[in-house]
Chains A and B, each alone.
Chain A
C-alpha cells in the first residue's frame, strides 16, 4: 500500500494498526534524538566560541531556544490534532492531542526555567513581567488547562470536544509570544533567528540550536507515541488483538 494513498492513512489511523507501528517507531526516534543531541552539544560546547558579551552563559541558549520553539510548535500541533478529532471524529487524533499536551507543557516549563537561569547573569533577574515571559507563562497555563479539562470530564467525547475548543481559543497566544519582542519594547532580547532568517549568533551556535530543535522534535515523537500506546492499551485492554500483539512484542 502506498504511503500517499488515502487507504494507507485510514488504516494507520485505527488504533489496532497504529499500536504496532508506533512500537517500531519509538526506538528509531530515540536513536535520532540521541544522535542529534550529541552532535548539537559538540557544536555548542566544543566548537562554538565563548561570547564576548555573555560569556559561557549563552550556551544555555542551545536548550532554551529549542525548548521555546517546541512549546509553541507543540501547542499548534496539539490544536491541529484536536480540531481534526473534533471535525472528523477520529479517535486517534484526540489521543495524539492528549499525548502531546504533557510534553508541550514540559517544554514550556523548560523554556521558562532555562530562560530564568539565563536571565539572572544576563539581565540581573530571574523573572520580570515582560510580554514575552508572561505570554509564555500563559502558554503553560493553557497546556495545564487542556490537560485538566480532559481529565475532569468523564465522557471521553465531550472531554475531547471541550478541550479542543479551549485549545482553539488559546491559539491566539502563540503569535503573541512569537512577535511580542517586536510589538512591545520588552526586556527580552529580540529574536535569536529573525523571521527573515537573519541570525545574530555564530554559525556553530546556530547549528547547535537547530540540531537540538530536531532532537527535541524526535524526542516528542518518541514519547507521544509511547503515551498513545499506553492510552490504546488502557482503552482496548479487553480486545483480543491487544493480548495477541503484546504477546508478539515480548
Chain B
C-alpha cells in the first residue's frame, strides 16, 4: 500500500482522519491544560513561600 492511497482511506479520508484528528486533539489539549495549570500553581506557591519567608 502506498502513502496516497493509505491517506485516502478508500475515499473515506475526511471521516477517518476527522475522527482521529479530533480524538488526538482533545487528548493533547487536556494534557496541555493540565500542565499549564500545574505550572501556574507551582509559581504561585513558590511566590507564597517567598512572601512567608520575608
Hey, which bits of chain A sit against chain B, CB under 8 A?
Answer: 45, 50, 55-57, 59-60, 63-64, 67, 102-103, 106, 109-110, 113-114, 117-118, 120-121, 219, 223, 226-227, 229-230, 233-234, 237-238, 242-243, 246
Partner of B9, one of A57, A110, A242: A57
Judging by beta carbons under 8 Å apart, are B15 and A233 in contact?
no
Closest to B14 in A: A117
Write out the residue numbers on chain B whose beta carbons fall within 8 Å of the beta carbon of A219: 27
> With A56-B16, A219-B27, A227-B34 given, is the CB distance from A110 to B22 under 8 Å?
yes
Can you list 8 contacts pairing A with B, beta carbon distance less than 8 Å? Answer: A57-B9, A60-B16, A106-B26, A114-B23, A229-B38, A230-B37, A237-B48, A243-B45
Write out the residue numbers on chain A whose beta carbons fall within 8 Å of the beta carbon of B18: 117
Judging by beta carbons under 8 Å apart, are A63 and B38 in contact?
no
Judging by beta carbons under 8 Å apart, are B23 and A63 in contact?
yes
Partner of A243, one of B10, B23, B27, B49: B49
> With A50-B10, A106-B26, A110-B23 given, is the CB distance from A118 to B34 under 8 Å?
no
Judging by beta carbons under 8 Å apart, are A233 and B45 in contact?
yes
Partner of A102, one of B6, B14, B30: B30
Judging by beta carbons under 8 Å apart, are B27 and A67 in contact?
no
Query: Chain A at the B interface: mostly helix, strand, loop or mixed?
Result: helix
Closest to A113 in B: B22
Write out the residue numbers on chain A whose beta carbons fall within 8 Å of the beta carbon of B49: 243
Q: Does B3 belong to the interface (CB within 8 Å)?
A: no
Judging by beta carbons under 8 Å apart, are B9 and A59 in contact?
yes
Write out the residue numbers on chain A whose beta carbons fall within 8 Å of the beta carbon of B38: 226, 229-230, 233
Write out the residue numbers on chain A whose beta carbons fall within 8 Å of the beta carbon of B23: 63, 67, 110, 114
Partner of A223, one of B9, B20, B30: B30
Judging by beta carbons under 8 Å apart, are A63 and B12 in contact?
no
Write out the residue numbers on chain B whose beta carbons fall within 8 Å of the beta carbon of A45: 6
Write out the residue numbers on chain A whose beta carbons fall within 8 Å of the beta carbon of B6: 45
Judging by beta carbons under 8 Å apart, are B19 and A117 in contact?
yes
> With A57-B15, A106-B26 given, is the CB distance from A238 to B48 under 8 Å?
yes
Residues of B1-47 at the interface with A, using a CB-CB cut-off of 8 Å, are 6, 9-12, 14-16, 18-20, 22-23, 26-27, 30-31, 34-35, 37-38, 41-42, 44-46
